[in-house]
Amino acid sequence: MRTAIPSAAMRWLILLAAAIAARATTFGNPILHVDEQFYFVVADAMAKGALPFVDIWDRKPIGLFALYLPAAALGWPLGILAYQALALAFAVATAGVIGAIARRVGWERGALAAGILYLLWLNFAEGQGGQAPVFYNLPVAGAVLVLSGGASRGRAVAAMALFGLALQIKYSVVFEGIALGCWVLWQRRRDPPLALAGLAAAMIAAALLPTAAALGGYAVLGHADRFLFANFWSILDRAGDPVGEQAGNLAIVALILAPLVALAFAGRSEGAAGTPRSLIRLWLAAAITALIGFGGWFDHYALPAIAAACTCSAGFFASERRSRRAVTVFLIATFVGGQAVLALKRHERGTAAEFAALTRAVGRGNGCLLIYSGPTMLYPATGRCRVSALVFPSHLSRTREAGAVGVDQRAALAAALATRPAWVVAEAGYRGERPDIRRRLEQVLGQNYRPIGTYALGTKRITVFCIMP
């Protein structure tokens, strides 16, 4: 006897409940990951008049910071809950789209399980908060949903427009966009050559329009060169991490993805004949190819492939051979595993209470702050001004960033210290740090600053220095 399929409203309620349960322990913690701390810091600076790539530097597209801007405008600490709520909403919406794709290709019985699996598996790859893929997986999945209904000209251009929005959240999504664009052209290969060329041009234009608009805005402001360097050229100047470190990262990413890829392949034969299963398999292949080709291989680089793999896994869950009880047990086990990962990350990175103690040590008031290494979220938490455009600590002192941030790191540190910030925050040291930069910092701290305390933040120890009169 077939099990009844939940109504649309019930499916959304289940997905929302799953997302809340999966992320409950993270709500309100401002230090979930260094990346999203920084995204919030940039958005907070934007709310106060700073211009990304000019007043505060990074390589991420401005669209990502714009997503954080409404939350940052709410101030501290309400903005933290706001950005995490926004990330949760994007995750739920993406899970819903994953289910919609699964139903369209004939895997309705496994659609809800695939959406829930996506929400739970995010926790294994740093997707518990507002990492960039948590946001851009939605327009990418939306593009796949659009194309799963056919490769008409209108659908093709609409899908590429969604990829254009995703590009302004992170440029690495270009690989999936190219793959799906080629899929469209293959589906329409019998069109006249001129018509096919026109469609290709229209798709490319739709995909590039948001980025072109951003570049145009910076050109009007006289900063086109800074936009181009930060968004494109600087990535070519950045050195790679040591081979051993990259290999270890890749092994972890492979471990995260392996179960999902196995599920995707196990369900590849399920579904009605003639459905566009090739499209979502291509999506998965493109996401994995992008992951491998991009390098670095940090855990969160797996997040785009998780969305595609979970969609493909719907075929596995759709099989009549899989009982609802077995699927439920599997999802519960996934939930428990994800919570264990979150507990480990909280132990390593610290709690909201530990961060609050560090914030109190720095305090609010007059005087600027330099975070040489440590949680950048201290800037909005204390309200203190910055003394450098290189706010992300790695940009100021990491070896692989030497020559890749538009200024000399030693000169940037010297300029920041020359402003005599009232407070300096620094860890004892970190892997990949430039020793000469660290020595210069310690020399200045020894001459002009006194330590007022060292504070635990997870497994790290952060020292707060105050300038001497």
The pLDDT, as a whole number, for residue 276 is 79
Strands of the sheet containing 449-457, edge to edge, are 369-371, 423-427, 460-467, 449-457
Domain boundaries, the chain: 8-348, 352-467
What is the model's pLDDT at position 455? 97
Give the per-residue pLDDT at 270. Answer: 54
Percent of the chain scored above 90 by pLDDT? 89
- Tell me which residue has tokens 């939306």: 142
C-alpha separations of 112 from 94, 119, 302, 410 in Å: 12, 11, 22, 53
Q: Which of 127, 114, 444, 121 is nearest to 311 (CA)?
A: 114
pLDDT in tens, 118-168: 999 999 999 999 999 999 999 999 999 999 999 999 999 999 999 999 999
Closest CA to 45 of 388, 352, 414, 354: 388
Q: How, if at all, do strands 369-371 and 423-427 pair? A: parallel
Q: Over the chain, what is the mean pLDDT?
A: 95
Cβ proximity of 267 and 316 under 8 Å: yes
With 0-12 CB in 10 A as exposed, 13-18 as middle and 19+ as buried, what is 443? exposed
Whether 216 and 85 have beta carbons less than 8 Å apart is answered as: no
What does the pLDDT read at residue 40? 98
CA 209 to chain centre: 22
The answer to whether the beta carbons of residues 137 and 94 sit under 8 Å apart is yes
* Longest Cα–Cα distance in the chain: 80
Q: What is the DSSP letter of 231?
A: I
The rounded distance, in Å, linking the Cα atoms of 14 and 19 is: 9
Which structure tokens are listed for 469?
């009169």
Asked whether the whole model's pTM tops 0.85, one would answer: yes
Please list the ranges in the chain whose pLDDT falls under 50: 1, 272-274
